[in-house]
Amino acid sequence: MATARDIMTQDVLTVTRDMTIKDLSKMFIDNRVNGFPVVDEEGTVVGIVTEKNLIEQNKNLHMPTVIALFDAVFYLESTKNYQEEVKRFTGTTVEDIYHANVVTVSPDAEVNEVVSLMANKGLHSLPVVANKKLIGIIGKIDIIKALAQ
């Protein structure tokens, strides 16, 4: 049975949390991929940033619904979600828009496990990690190539 190691792309382009949105946009244009793993100084995967994150940064800011009662204001929605939206909307670096809760797989994961994970979680790319270090990435095109063989 084929494994993640067999189908992954080994030359992985990565970004850091302090990269500017402008530089990230240029990387998307130049490389025509749907996402980049975000790594720290040691090369540990700390998140992923996708085209969707970049596009969502520019959608309209949703104002939370509030009720004024006497001299108090009550939010009917989570203020935490609103604060996260403001951070995303006004962000200037990858750190402001990326997903910190990244799903990864080991190089020994079977391809059918990888396919299920990507399908069930709606993932376009999946970092392959060994000993907390990024060693590859699997994109939808890698899955299609594997299934075609």
- Residue 21, exposed/middle/buried by CB under 10 A (0-12, 13-18, 19+)? middle
Distance of CA 101 to the CA centre of its chain: 8
Per-residue pLDDT tens listing for the chain (149 residues): 899 999 999 999 999 999 999 899 899 889 988 899 999 998 899 999 988 888 776 644 444 455 555 666 555 555 565 455 545 555 688 998 898 989 999 999 999 999 999 999 999 899 999 998 999 999 988 999 888 87
Q: Please say whether the dihedral angle defined by the alpha carbons of residues 139, 144, 145 and 146, taken in this order, is positive or negative.
A: positive
User: Domain containing 73: what range?
Assistant: 4-148
Phi, psi dihedral angles at 86 (to 5 degrees)? -60, -45
Number of domains in the chain: 1
Q: Residue 105 sits in a domain of what CATH number?
A: 3.10.580.10
